[in-house]
A = this chain, B = another copy of it.
Amino acid sequence: MGKAEEIINQLKNLDATVTRLGHIAALLEWDQETYMPEGAVEERASQSALMVGLHHEKIVDARWENLFSELGYDGSANPEGFDDVGTAFLRESYKRWKKQTRVPRNLVENLARETSLAQAAWAGARKADKFSAFAPNLESIIGLEKEYAAAIADNSDADAYDTLLDEYEPGASAGEISTVFDGLAEGLRILMDKIRSGNAPETGFLEKPYDITRQDAFGQRIQNFMGYDIHRGRLDLSAHPFTTTLGPDDVRVTTRYDEKLVLSGLFSNIHEAGHGLYEQGIGQNLRNTLLADGTSLGIHESQSRFWENTVGRSMAFWDRWFDDFKNLFPENLANVDVRSFYRAVNSVQPSLIRVEADEVTYSFHIIIRFRLEQALISGDLKVADLPGAWNDAYRDLLGITSLNDADGCLQDVHWSVGLFGYFPTYALGNLYAAQFTRAMEKDLGPIPALLGSDRADAILNWLRENIHVHGRVYSPGDLCRRVTGESLDSVYFLDYLNGKYAGVYGF
């Protein structure tokens, strides 16, 4: 074994410990959201904090610095003699080590304390519909986020928002995203005009009560159809659906059911299983390394949205599954045909609340947040002016405004926990999904023809080979170019929406 190889092995051993501590921390959180008794809440916070501390301790361990230095690696150029995986391992582990060693301990503690206070303040302000009760906390968190960005940045003149964005979408910049989002907003505005002039589908039968046990049975069948491996995962209930990785063969999803919201439960099942498939499909050669993860939140979201919208809200999907669904709920669907059901599933309605938005209007909610959070970080927008700016943006893009802050700028938890730069990844997911779909259809032919059987294996295999197996080996930008031959472009998503909604709304 050569010296470089020996050093890499030592680095991989250090990394396996860090990765496993992350998985154990994920179990603490999964348990908290699913089965933990209520009395344990306070102590669980201390247990999780302990795991965060140990995780950090193992990331900044002095051996990392010594080994990088022995290898002569300083993160500035691709090292010689390594394949893509080796190169990515060094790049990502160096980046993580450097970032965590750069953050001063008191900043970590301040952020932990202030976000904890801010979450409580946000919840109270939202309940009381009083933005001013949250404003000082938001002010303080914006200050700390800028401090954090300055601490971890490679160059002192780096843009703070770009630095924050890089945490969730490595390599992306606000400038590029703005260009993409501007085109998207314009395209969506034109599409919405057509939809408003079209024929709205009837949706009354979706508002009837649907038995939860049967919802669950159907959801599990669809997860199996997608190829989600229940022997390496689980489906449980939680207040907010999520996907979490507790180990290379332990990727769990959760959902929630509401008798009166049958689509909400079903599309949560599909969405989370889409995330789960990504994690279950990561290459065995990346097991227990930091590369065994989604390469960005945007790419992760592309996988969940692809299954949820491109597959789960397609005519071909319901051609395959509507009879089974109708057999489970004959009392609600006796007089409904598959075409009416498909149209109802794709009903479009501008609304105030992001998490309730349809596939078309969803991106507007994200574009608004992206523009506002950039302005908050740059200082162009004062915190006190946020509610007004929020309402102006909703009026401009969605044509509606909220009468209160609770359903306006207080609706999301993200900013209170310090997540600046996170929102755009939700919309990037839609765009990546459409661009990947185009590449998939070049290889496999039209997707509708692949949805007729009991398992969507051809689709899953394509996603595995082209996306999942690579984990974090390629940056999201590089992955997009490898898979589709070009950089991210909103045209594919707009083409997809225009084609589909012309059919749904008959324009």
- Give the interface of A toward B (CB within 8 A): 17, 20-21, 23-24, 27-28, 31, 35-40, 42-44, 46-47, 50-51, 54, 229-234, 236, 246-250, 252, 288
CA distance A51 to B54 in the complex (A): 11
Given A24-B51, A27-B27, A27-B31, A37-B230 contact (CB < 8 Å): yes
Residue among B38, B46, B249 making CB contact with A43, cutoff 8 Å: B249
The residue on B at minimum CB distance from A58 is B54
- Interchain nearest-CB distance for A330 vs B (Å): 27
Residues of B within 8 A of A234 (CB): 35, 37
- Whether B231 pairs with A43 at a CB distance below 8 angstroms is no
Residue among B24, B28, B38 making CB contact with A47, cutoff 8 Å: B24
- Whether A31 pairs with B28 at a CB distance below 8 angstroms is no
The residue on B at minimum CB distance from A36 is B250
The 10 closest A-B pairs by CB, nearest first: A40-B250, A39-B232, A39-B249, A43-B247, A39-B231, A40-B249, A20-B50, A40-B247, A20-B47, A38-B231
- Interchain nearest-CB distance for A55 vs B (Å): 11
- Whether A37 pairs with B248 at a CB distance below 8 angstroms is no
Besides A27-B28, A37-B234, A40-B246, 17 new A-B residue pairs in contact (Cβ under 8 A), listed by A number: A21-B50, A24-B24, A24-B50, A24-B51, A27-B27, A27-B31, A31-B31, A35-B236, A36-B250, A37-B232, A37-B250, A40-B249, A42-B249, A43-B247, A43-B250, A44-B247, A47-B247
Residues of B within 8 A of A24 (CB): 24, 28, 47, 50-51
- Interchain nearest-CB distance for A390 vs B (Å): 40
**Mind listing 9 A-B residue pairs with CB under 8 Å?**
A20-B47, A20-B50, A24-B28, A27-B31, A37-B230, A40-B250, A43-B248, A43-B288, A44-B250
Residues of B within 8 A of A20 (CB): 46-47, 50
- Whether A250 pairs with B39 at a CB distance below 8 angstroms is yes
CA distance A248 to B24 in the complex (A): 19
Residue with the greatest number of chain B CB neighbours at <10 A, chosen from A27, A31, A37:
A37
Given A40-B247, A232-B40, A47-B35 contact (CB < 8 Å): no
CA distance A499 to B10 in the complex (A): 67
- Interchain nearest-CB distance for A467 vs B (Å): 22
The residue on B at minimum CB distance from A24 is B47
CA distance A50 to B231 in the complex (A): 24
Residues of B within 8 A of A229 (CB): 39
CA distance A20 to B246 in the complex (A): 19
Residue with the greatest number of chain B CB neighbours at <10 A, chosen from A17, A50, A249, A288:
A249
Residues of B within 8 A of A37 (CB): 230-234, 249-250, 252
The residue on B at minimum CB distance from A44 is B247
The residue on B at minimum CB distance from A30 is B31
Residues of B within 8 A of A21 (CB): 50
CA distance A186 to B230 in the complex (A): 55
CA distance A248 to B54 in the complex (A): 21
CA distance A38 to B44 in the complex (A): 26
Residues of B within 8 A of A50 (CB): 17, 20-21, 24
Residues of B within 8 A of A231 (CB): 37-39
Residue with the greatest number of chain B CB neighbours at <10 A, chosen from A24, A44, A231:
A24
- Interchain nearest-CB distance for A387 vs B (Å): 39
The residue on B at minimum CB distance from A246 is B40
CA distance A352 to B19 in the complex (A): 47
Residues of B within 8 A of A40 (CB): 232, 246-247, 249-250
Residues of B within 8 A of A38 (CB): 231
